[in-house]
Chain A
Amino acid sequence: MSLDSTTRADLPTGTTGRTIVVLEPGARGEGEGLLRDVTGIRVQRVGDAPPGSVPGEDAYLDQLGIAILAADPDQVSALGAAAAGTELPVRSCEPEVYVRALGQHTAAVSADETYLAEEPGTDPATLWADSPNATWGIQAVHAAPPAGSRAPWAGSGITVAVLDTGVDLGHPDLAGVVVAHQSFVDGEEVHDGLGHGTHVAGTIAGAHTPPGGQRRFSVAPSARLAVGKVLSNEGSGSSGGVLAGINWAVSLGAPVISMSLGSAVAKGETYLQYYEAAAQAALDAGCLIVAAAGNEGYMPVGSPANCPSVMAVAALDRALLRASFSCVALNGDGGEVNIAAPGVDVYSSYPVARGSYAYLSGTSMATPHVSGVAAVYARATGLRGRELWARVVETARGTGQDAMLVGAGCATVPTRPPA
């Protein structure tokens, strides 16, 4: 992406000359051998590199099935041919691009974005980072307000339905937050045996001041949750169960329905009619469905986020750029990305039996940020359904990237100057 030349003309822009290769998920374990066979390159396995570390030349991120190669043009063309064909499990082959820290870009752009330099614990020359008081994600969506501002709404009186793996009802940071719960999984209580749902729930409405002294990680701490367990403790479910959960959430009148779930969609594939019908019925009833765009990389937005009446959420990294795993708008007719939110290294609640807190990444983590923002707007404006959708999208902050990648940009709650 381009850099505003009036701010830091000395910083590099455009492509780096390296190539990012994404393997099909099933080929992750054999990535090193595959790349050696196709390109002759011996890659260095990065393995469980800590968040924020930068891989060197010809690195292979084995957990992600992603290689970063300083390949010459001949090798790149071989990879490109592999990506275009079906004979090799190469999903995409794209040039690496320079990214820039938000603080380096924004100081001269708009007063609205000058807060980064003033945020306690945040160096303007670095990427967004968790502070002792707030995660980087809730800072980025302004739920932990910029210096010189306040966030006068926190979603009080708004119920957000979370359709996921349930929650740990005994988690201290969710005490008193869950006002309704129901399991749609045969033989399983609403308790979250996996962790996914507890993490999502915490990002929406975890305690404003966690009793254990943790940093705040919730966008709308005054909102309340209706927890529909539609995915089992193994993380599996069916679209029928998801629909049953939506039906329940609509019957409760939840203004926001958060769905960090879905299925991959092929290029040219359209949306499922039952999901679209459900989403339309929900909007008609004043319930906005927010769903994860998917983690398949440079692939179409997944289902049900690909429905025209479902708000599709992309994930942003700490530079507020599309995370490389986040699906993009390759299919029209609902397959757009509508909005984006932080989805990398997201700190939130986790089942007590699994350590109480965890960092997770994915569009599943970006989605509850948007759901929380929607809850705040629902409280602040009284808007519902399609009008709420419009407000959430039109107040997103552009990040400089194409709408195909991040939609309208980063979701943002309303703030005001101090009274």
Chain B
Amino acid sequence: MSGSTPLHRRTHHAPERPERPERQAVVVTITGRPLSTTLPALEECGLAVTSVLDQLGIVLGRADTPTRERLDLLPGVHVEAEQAVQLPPPDSLLQ
């Protein structure tokens, strides 16, 4: 195991197209309400769903800041940023 590193870094060069709000990879945890009926509400808030983890009540997706703010208002819905996971290099003494 090792420390985490930022998964999504801002690019510092000028955008080629008109700037759009940055969308971050997020993990949406749903508790106390059915996933199937919650999913449309998430999309309505602007969440771009990438994966539905039906066994866990969790939805992976991408969201900009206004979308996250809308999602945070939904009862039983908790939004967190996805994290990076990184092992040490293979020649490290500790794994």
Interface presence of A412 (CB below 8 A): no
Interface presence of A237 (CB below 8 A): yes
Interface presence of A308 (CB below 8 A): no
Stretch at the interface among A11-19, A143-151, A210-218, A274-282: A274-282
Q: Which of B1, B60, B84, B90 contacts A236 (CB 8 A)?
A: B84
Using Cβ atoms and an 8 Å threshold, which residues of chain A touch B88? 235, 295, 362
The size of the chain A interface, using a CB distance under 8 A, is 51
Query: Which of chain B's residues 9-40 have a Cβ closer than 8 Å to chain A?
Result: 25, 27, 29, 31
For the A-B complex, the count of residue pairs with Cβ-Cβ distances under 8 Å equals 139
**A240 to B73 alpha-carbon distance, docked (Å):** 22
**A303 to B88 alpha-carbon distance, docked (Å):** 15
- The secondary-structure label for the interface of chain A is mixed
Known: A238-B25, A261-B1, A365-B95. A251 touches B83 (CB 8 A): no
**A325 to B88 alpha-carbon distance, docked (Å):** 14
**A244 to B58 alpha-carbon distance, docked (Å):** 9
**A131 to B57 alpha-carbon distance, docked (Å):** 46
Q: Which of B2, B27, B51, B87 contacts A194 (CB 8 A)?
A: B87
Query: Which of chain A's residues 278-292 have a Cβ closer than 8 Å to chain B?
Result: 278, 281-282, 285, 292
Q: Determine whether the beta carbon of B27 is less than 8 Å from that of A239.
A: yes
**A251 to B52 alpha-carbon distance, docked (Å):** 13
**A239 to B4 alpha-carbon distance, docked (Å):** 10
Q: Determine whether the beta carbon of B56 is less than 8 Å from that of A246.
A: yes
Q: Determine whether the beta carbon of A235 is less than 8 Å from that of B87.
A: yes
Q: Determine whether the beta carbon of A361 is less than 8 Å from that of B95.
A: yes
Most buried by A among B51, B60, B93: B93
Using Cβ atoms and an 8 Å threshold, which residues of chain B touch A243? 27, 53, 56, 58, 60
**A276 to B84 alpha-carbon distance, docked (Å):** 17
Q: Mark A240-272, 1 if CB is under 8 A from B, else 0.
A: 111110110011000000001111100000001
Q: How far is the CB of A203 from chain B (nearest CB, A)?
A: 12
Q: How far is the CB of B7 from chain A (nearest CB, A)?
A: 6
B54 nearest in chain A by CB position: A247
Q: Determine whether the beta carbon of B90 is less than 8 Å from that of A195.
A: yes
Known: A243-B53, A273-B80, A277-B58. A236 touches B94 (CB 8 A): no
Q: Mark A355-380, 1 if CB is under 8 A from B, else 0.
A: 00000111111000000000000000
Using Cβ atoms and an 8 Å threshold, which residues of chain A touch B94? 64, 295, 325, 361-362
Known: A240-B27, A272-B83, A274-B27. A281 touches B95 (CB 8 A): no
Given contacts A243-B53, A364-B87, 8 further A-B contacts (CB under 8 A): A63-B93, A195-B90, A236-B86, A244-B51, A251-B55, A262-B85, A277-B31, A362-B95
Q: Which A-B residue pairs are the 9 nearest by beta carbons?
A: A235-B87, A263-B4, A362-B95, A247-B53, A264-B3, A250-B55, A239-B83, A274-B27, A364-B95
22 residue pairs bridging A and B, Cβ less than 8 Å apart: A64-B93, A235-B87, A236-B86, A238-B7, A239-B27, A239-B85, A243-B56, A244-B51, A244-B60, A251-B55, A261-B1, A261-B85, A262-B85, A263-B85, A264-B1, A272-B80, A273-B80, A277-B29, A277-B58, A281-B56, A360-B95, A364-B1
